Structure 1
Amino acid sequence: MVVESVFSSGALSSNPALCVQGLTVHYGALVALSDVSWSVSPGEILGIIGPNGAGKSSCFEAVTALVARTGTISLNGRDVSDVPAYDLCALGMKRAFQQNAFFDELTVLDNLLVVLGDIARPGLFSSIFNPIAAFKRRQLASIRAATILKQFGVHEQYHPLSPKDIPYGVQRMLSIALAFGSGAKVLLLDEPAAGLGGEDMEILKQILQRLKHEGVALVVIEHHMDLIMSVADRICVLNFGKQLAYGAPQAIQADSRVREAYLGTSS
């Protein structure tokens, strides 16, 4: 489902999957984030951009309850401001980080099976007293994991390998697949295009567009302007921890304040 943007700069959706209001983060005396508000709806991509040190990653850390913060965070209409990080996943909000993180001692396929959790594990009782059913469950889980990996551009030839032995571009796609796991209502991606180019960039673009059309609400921090401008429905620009601009990509590109933040000049 594709949801057309009903936002103007600074407006909030009436039916957001994730809504952030007044988000503020302090690291001691340093104000890393100040009164930031945005939202993203199902089937929509929100881009978060800004110069280095603008507060982009701090924004994700705050939304996912990994740092102390003030403000309100709502997930599908529920206030989750006090929900700890380890419980947000079960509510449908998942995240991928800037740096790839895998179980290198496991195969690519087994990495995803670990993420699938109870879906892939038959349990001790079943393994002992009904081993045939347990074996079939593991088989079905492996088929499902392989299907998910291929949907994220991680093809079969890589499944039996260690993540450290696959190309970097495929590692980036694997990190998104592991974050998504068995499904997500809201998926936060921190610089998914870092280090990518050419064909890998196009694959990433296709993955983002597919997730959007499947109704996932995506929030993407990105430095690759060509990518984010081509896929995002709206963009939030941060600078020195403050929300500098918020709106459609065309409006952001035309905003003199944004040009000045990136280039140091408004001309």
Structure 2
Amino acid sequence: MARLSSRADVPPVLAVRDLSVRFGGFQALKAMSWSVAAGRILGIIGPNGAGKSTCFMAATNMVSHGGRIRLAGTDVTDKPAHALPRAGLRRTFQQNAFFGGMSVLENMAAALMESRPSPLAQSVFLPWIEARRCRAIEAQARAHLMAYHVPESAYERLPGELSYGTQRMLSIALAAAPGARVVLLDEPAAGLGGPDMIALRSVLERMRDDGLAVVLIEHHMDLVMAIADEVVVLELGQLIAAGRPAEIQADPRVLEAYLGRAA
């Protein structure tokens, strides 16, 4: 079975080993292993039904699975899914998810506060310190949104009022809030085109430059091959190829299983 390590000289931030998922009598994933290091982008590709989204669900403990998951050297296989974001493992979904009744800026500030909770005593007995903290978080939220191509004109609006492309940028910005170590992106380019695709590539490059480990499920082959440091290919729940983009593009198994079908 093919295995992929981000770089021999750099320890992975996220490593899954022999990841397997079964739904009743259906084997959705079978003994899959891959890893990604800080400042690297791993692309996961494969035809529809290959098990890509199931792989993300298993890697974030959102579904029962076999195998082991290590985050920054710590085994998190048995951690509940809701505990992983605070540990630094974050993800987006194919459908954008926000606090719909809060403004864009409030959504971003809430994500920042989640990573920097305030002591209760400070909030109650030292309100001036809490007010100063809130102002600092708002300033940080504005800077973070701007860096992720969410325009200032959107900050006081509700997420549902934004264009689809801006919603996608917001979802990535929320996942990449300080405290993130690994960000799993599930088809971030779906429904995007033109300037939005350019903005997405810029955001992905920024995440890598900022030292995040990024795992990208995507059907846009041009984007994956241009931006990913390594690529793994799934078919029928199994990893059939792993390597650098040029190697994947020349692999006859990939051409047969996926790239050839798209041509």
Q: TM-score, normalised by structure 2?
A: 0.92
> Partners in 2 of 1:169 and 1:219 — Cα distance?
20
2:168 is the alignment partner of 1:168: no
> Partners in 2 of 1:87 and 1:124 — Cα distance?
21
The two structures, once aligned, show a CA RMSD in angstroms of 1.9
2:40 is the alignment partner of 1:44: yes
> Partners in 2 of 1:232 and 1:191 — Cα distance?
14
Cα displacement (A) at 1:80: 1.4
Cα displacement (A) at 1:141: 1.1
Q: Is the 8 A contact 2:4 2:33 kept in 1?
A: no
Q: Which residue of 253, 256, 259 maps to 1:260?
A: 256
Aligned to 1:101: 97
Aligned to 2:72: 76
Which letter does structure 1 place at the counterpart of 2:44?
A: I
Aligned to 2:3: 10
Q: How many residues are treated as equivalent by the alignment?
A: 258
Cα displacement (A) at 1:118: 5.0
2:150 is the alignment partner of 1:154: yes
Q: Is the 8 A contact 1:22 1:37 kept in 2?
A: yes
Q: Which residue of 198, 201, 208 maps to 2:197?
A: 201
2:142 is the alignment partner of 1:183: no
> Partners in 1 of 2:140 and 2:42 — Cα distance?
29
Which letter does structure 2 place at the counterpart of 1:250?
A: A
> Partners in 2 of 1:157 and 1:88 — Cα distance?
32
Q: Secondary structure at the match of 2:83?
A: helix
Which letter does structure 1 place at the counterpart of 2:139?
A: I
> Partners in 2 of 1:234 and 1:201 — Cα distance?
20
Higher deviation after alignment, 72-81 or 113-122 = 113-122
Counterparts of 1:105-116 in structure 2 under 5 Å? 105-116=101-112
Change (3 A) 1:164 1:240: same
Which letter does structure 2 place at the counterpart of 1:233?
A: D
Cα displacement (A) at 1:99: 0.7
Change (3 A) 1:35 1:41: same
Q: Is the 8 A contact 2:254 2:260 kept in 1?
A: no
Change (3 A) 1:118 1:220: closer
Q: Is the 8 A contact 2:13 2:36 kept in 1?
A: yes
Cα displacement (A) at 1:252: 0.7
Counterparts of 1:222-233 in structure 2 under 5 Å? 222-233=218-229
> Partners in 1 of 2:73 and 2:53 — Cα distance?
24
> Partners in 2 of 1:120 and 1:21 — Cα distance?
31
Residue ranges of structure 2 left out of the alignment (5+ in a row) = none
Aligned to 1:6: none
> Partners in 1 of 2:162 and 2:86 — Cα distance?
30
Q: Is the 8 A contact 1:49 1:56 kept in 2?
A: yes
Cα displacement (A) at 1:214: 1.5
Higher deviation after alignment, 80-89 or 54-63 = 80-89
Cα displacement (A) at 1:253: 0.7
> Partners in 1 of 2:55 and 2:114 — Cα distance?
31
